[in-house]
Chain A
Amino acid sequence: MISPDHFQALFDPRGIVVAGASTHPGKFGFVALHNILSCGYRGEVFATNRERAEVLGRPTVADLTEIPHGKADLVFVCTPATSNPEVLRQAASVGIKAAFIASAGYGESGEAGLELQLQLVEIANELNMVIVGPNGQGLVSTPSSLCAQIVAPYPPAGSIGIASQSGNFVSSFMNLSRQSGVGISRAISVGNAAQVGILDMLEYFADDPKTSVGLVYAEGISDGREFANRLEKVCQRMPVVILKGGASGLGARAAASHTGSLATDDRVFEGLCRQVGATRASSVAEAFDIAAAFSTLPAPRGPRLAVVTTVGGWGVLAADAISSTSLELVHLPADLRDTLDGLLPPRWSRNNPIDLAGGETKDTVPAVLDAVVGHEEIDATLVLGMGIQSNQGRLEREGPFYPDHGLERIVAFHDRQDSRYADVALAASIAADKPVLIASELAIGDPNNAAVAAVRATGHYCFASAERAVIAMHRLYERTVWLESFGEPNNERH
């Protein structure tokens, strides 16, 4: 029943109506219109207000029937639940095919609300409309510069598609997107999921050329088998990262069975994710790390990981993290060791992690990265220690001696070097078609650091620690293994 046209109306509408626009800046009906008008949406924007009051300096109409037929595809509904059947009928009468219903007072509020919700779905089906919500926070669609939601933020454009049973997590993920620069294609809070839910969104994302990875927050799942089957079909086509809240809390287990008491809801969900090829994350930060990795990195062909670090300790922890995964801290091939011997002073680690031991000169890091990333026995590379130079540069720049004593020149040099390392690492990744992961706590500690900024400028992701990068890399590799279990090589390229 729900067709591609419906999703196009939802995410790439030619025009939008905010139903229930308000003059009060604290009301949803104001905020929704504000956000749509403020983030660059290029289609026509209409608003209804019973008193025809001007909102944000724009005229409004009293109801949807006054909007010219065919000018709008989407209505963003902020009117009270009792008004909404009429809003939908009027919307359909002017050619609107999709409605996002932010209004509350439905299934979340009890029996009477649930009745209204069922009635709304019935009307939508009869009108051949798609309705998302009710009780949802809104949607974002960067290809259309569309921020139709009652909360912030509006994220940068990218290829992560977010679908959530809780609007707050849409915000959480998009906040991390804005911080890291790894962008979003579409994001939607499905609210009470009366007519369409997370799987409908994922199926649309899998078809959507703008989206390369699904990022999901899910709570209750009622139709378990259908959920698993549909999710598996999506995962065959696109990586999906799932953060799951709460247990399904259904039914006591059989008394006689020991295995029954062991098959907890959480373990069942974990197992189902591994089976259908979905990547389950344990926190918001981890979920975004992994989605960002899927979105920005080529798929690893194998488990052999090299770690390049400018100092020892980071490499040690990275090696520890790798040892608890199925990734392999690859033993350095002899020819690569010879190559590195020629580039580095004798005190370098001569093993993996490749510890440069402070031996890098101006062109060492780029040469080492090229040699390591490009080597045929290495599937992926983790780079640690970027940003150190420009971090010192910052202290010098902010100190009392700057710009004298040669500081101006050296600070600029530090910034250039770090920026160049980031560019080189990512160029090597593209040239070899292999993942190169960059990790530094400066990603959080100083997002303006030259290395971090350079990574962000290329559209890549700077992981906040080596361990987090290793976890994300491991999950990418697990997807490769899962896809190969069907006899298909993993050729996903983003």
Chain B
Amino acid sequence: MSRTLSESDSKDLLAKYGIPFLPEVLISQADHVEDALVGMTGPYAVKLCGPNISHKSERGLVRLDINGVDAVRQACHELFDEARPEDGATGVLVAPMATGLREFIAGVSVDPVFGPTIVFGVGGVLAEAIADVTVRLAPLRRYDAMDMLGSLRSRSLLETFRGEPAVDLEALADLLCSLSDAAVGIDGLESIDVNPVMIVNGLPVALDALVEFSDVEVEP
């Protein structure tokens, strides 16, 4: 039986290994929205967050491009109403919207024969159809991380793209090496999803994360 961390806890854990996330706040009640948004400019992404929520988009628990305090508060009310008992303790995550044309997926998967592997591929809505994915065993050498980027069939996505600058390959390799460190460093790990990794001004930013443990006894 596996156990997942909430998005917020997943991000806190992975940030320690150097995965780049946006600054965001976790709100426990809709009334707290106004205070929470101080210093954060919109528009916002608003998501329900709980330890047992693993398929947010499919359940409609992600609200994007929300403008203004009132709209965020309204979204919070709606999301709290959507929460189910089995989701575990819930909060709402509010983050500034990130925009970029390119999305990738990165993560860790523990292979039954080969142990922890690092996964990287083209993300977005067409990801599964395109299935442009490359895998390596953890731990990665930096050479391996760069080779993963070069192994994508769609590696031209890493060059300048429709007015966006070329992807900083070193930064993207850093992200993969950070995942490798996490794969080696986290006991009882079953999988990590960092999805999507959006390219914002040429730099990778992880917008969502899910850490899954194989053993309910293990604490992060």
Q: Are A224 and B111 in contact (CB under 8 A)?
A: yes
Q: A256-B210, A485-B143 are in contact. Are A272 and B136 (CB under 8 A)?
A: yes
Name the contact of B119 in the complex, choosing from A228, A251, A263 (C-beta under 8 A). A263
Q: Are B212 and A254 in contact (CB under 8 A)?
A: yes
- B193 interface contact, C-beta 8 A: yes
- B163 interface contact, C-beta 8 A: no
Across-interface contacts of A271 in B (CB, < 8 A): 117, 134-137, 148, 151
CA distance A132 to B145 in the complex (A): 38
Q: Among residues 88 to 145 in chain B, which have CB atoms less than 8 Å away from a CB atom of chain A?
A: 105-115, 117, 119, 121, 131, 133-137, 141, 143-144
Across-interface contacts of B106 in A (CB, < 8 A): 259
Interface mask (A248-287 → B, CB under 8 Å = 1, otherwise 0): 1011011111111011110110111011000000000000
Q: Are B114 and A272 in contact (CB under 8 A)?
A: yes
- B192 interface contact, C-beta 8 A: yes
- B178 interface contact, C-beta 8 A: no
- Nearest CB of chain B from residue A242's CB, rounded to whole Å: 15
- B195 interface contact, C-beta 8 A: yes
Q: A221-B113, A250-B113, A485-B143 are in contact. Are A259 and B119 (CB under 8 A)?
A: yes
Across-interface contacts of A221 in B (CB, < 8 A): 113
- B147 interface contact, C-beta 8 A: yes
- B191 interface contact, C-beta 8 A: yes
Q: Among residues 212 to 243 in chain A, which have CB atoms less than 8 Å away from a CB atom of chain B?
A: 221-225, 228
Across-interface contacts of A256 in B (CB, < 8 A): 2, 4, 54, 190-191, 210, 212
Name the contact of A258 in the complex, choosing from B113, B117, B151, B193 (C-beta under 8 A). B193
Scoring A222, A258, A485 by chain B CB atoms within 10 A of each residue's CB, the highest score goes to A258
- Nearest CB of chain A from residue B192's CB, rounded to whole Å: 7
CA distance A255 to B150 in the complex (A): 29
Chain A residue, CB-CB nearest to B123:
A258
Q: Among residues 418 to 471 in chain A, which have CB atoms less than 8 Å away from a CB atom of chain B?
A: none
Across-interface contacts of B54 in A (CB, < 8 A): 256
Q: Are A268 and B135 in contact (CB under 8 A)?
A: yes
Q: Are B193 and A259 in contact (CB under 8 A)?
A: yes
Name the contact of B114 in the complex, choosing from A224, A253, A485 (C-beta under 8 A). A224
Across-interface contacts of B110 in A (CB, < 8 A): 254
Name the contact of A257 in the complex, choosing from B109, B113, B121, B134 (C-beta under 8 A). B109
CA distance A402 to B111 in the complex (A): 67
Across-interface contacts of A263 in B (CB, < 8 A): 109, 111, 117, 119, 133, 135
Q: Are B193 and A257 in contact (CB under 8 A)?
A: yes
Across-interface contacts of A482 in B (CB, < 8 A): 143
* Interface residue count on the A side (C-beta < 8 Å): 31
Q: A254-B212, A259-B106, A485-B141 are in contact. Are A225 and B191 (CB under 8 A)?
A: no
Q: Among residues 9 to 63 in chain B, which have CB atoms less than 8 Å away from a CB atom of chain A?
A: 54
* Interface residue count on the B side (C-beta < 8 Å): 38
Q: Are B191 and A257 in contact (CB under 8 A)?
A: yes
Q: Are B137 and A275 in contact (CB under 8 A)?
A: yes
CA distance A354 to B121 in the complex (A): 38
CA distance A208 to B179 in the complex (A): 39
CA distance A267 to B119 in the complex (A): 9
CA distance A414 to B197 in the complex (A): 62
Across-interface contacts of A267 in B (CB, < 8 A): 119, 133-135
CA distance A258 to B124 in the complex (A): 12
- Nearest CB of chain B from residue A278's CB, rounded to whole Å: 13
Across-interface contacts of B107 in A (CB, < 8 A): 257-260, 262
Chain B residue, CB-CB nearest to A228:
B137
Q: Are B115 and A262 in contact (CB under 8 A)?
A: no
CA distance A12 to B106 in the complex (A): 50
CA distance A255 to B2 in the complex (A): 9
Across-interface contacts of A228 in B (CB, < 8 A): 114, 137
Across-interface contacts of A265 in B (CB, < 8 A): 111, 113
Interface mask (B143-186 → A, CB under 8 Å = 1, otherwise 0): 11001101100000000000000000000000000000000000
Interface mask (B188-220 → A, CB under 8 Å = 1, otherwise 0): 001111010000000000000010101000000
CA distance A221 to B115 in the complex (A): 13
Across-interface contacts of A272 in B (CB, < 8 A): 114, 136-137
- Nearest CB of chain A from residue B178's CB, rounded to whole Å: 15
CA distance A228 to B147 in the complex (A): 17
Chain A residue, CB-CB nearest to B144:
A275
Across-interface contacts of B108 in A (CB, < 8 A): 259
Across-interface contacts of B112 in A (CB, < 8 A): 248, 250-251
Q: Are B147 and A274 in contact (CB under 8 A)?
A: yes
CA distance A228 to B131 in the complex (A): 25
Q: Are A258 and B105 in contact (CB under 8 A)?
A: yes
Name the contact of A259 in the complex, choosing from B136, B148, B192 (C-beta under 8 A). B192
> Which A residues are closer than 8 A to B by beta carbons?
221-225, 228, 248, 250-251, 253-260, 262-265, 267-268, 270-272, 274-275, 326, 482, 485
In the A-B complex, the 10 residue pairs with the closest CB atoms: A259-B107, A257-B191, A224-B114, A251-B112, A224-B113, A485-B143, A263-B109, A271-B135, A259-B119, A271-B136
> Which B residues are closer than 8 A to A by beta carbons?
2, 4, 54, 105-115, 117, 119, 121, 131, 133-137, 141, 143-144, 147-148, 150-151, 190-193, 195, 210, 212, 214
* A to B CB contacts below 8 Å, 30 in the list: A224-B114, A225-B114, A254-B212, A257-B191, A257-B193, A257-B212, A258-B193, A259-B119, A260-B109, A260-B191, A262-B109, A262-B133, A262-B135, A263-B111, A263-B119, A263-B135, A264-B135, A265-B111, A265-B113, A267-B119, A267-B133, A268-B111, A268-B114, A268-B117, A270-B134, A271-B117, A271-B134, A271-B148, A274-B144, A482-B143
14 further A-B pairs in the complex, CB-CB below 8 A; given A264-B135, A271-B135: A224-B111, A225-B115, A250-B113, A251-B112, A255-B2, A256-B190, A256-B212, A257-B210, A258-B195, A262-B109, A263-B109, A265-B111, A271-B151, A275-B141
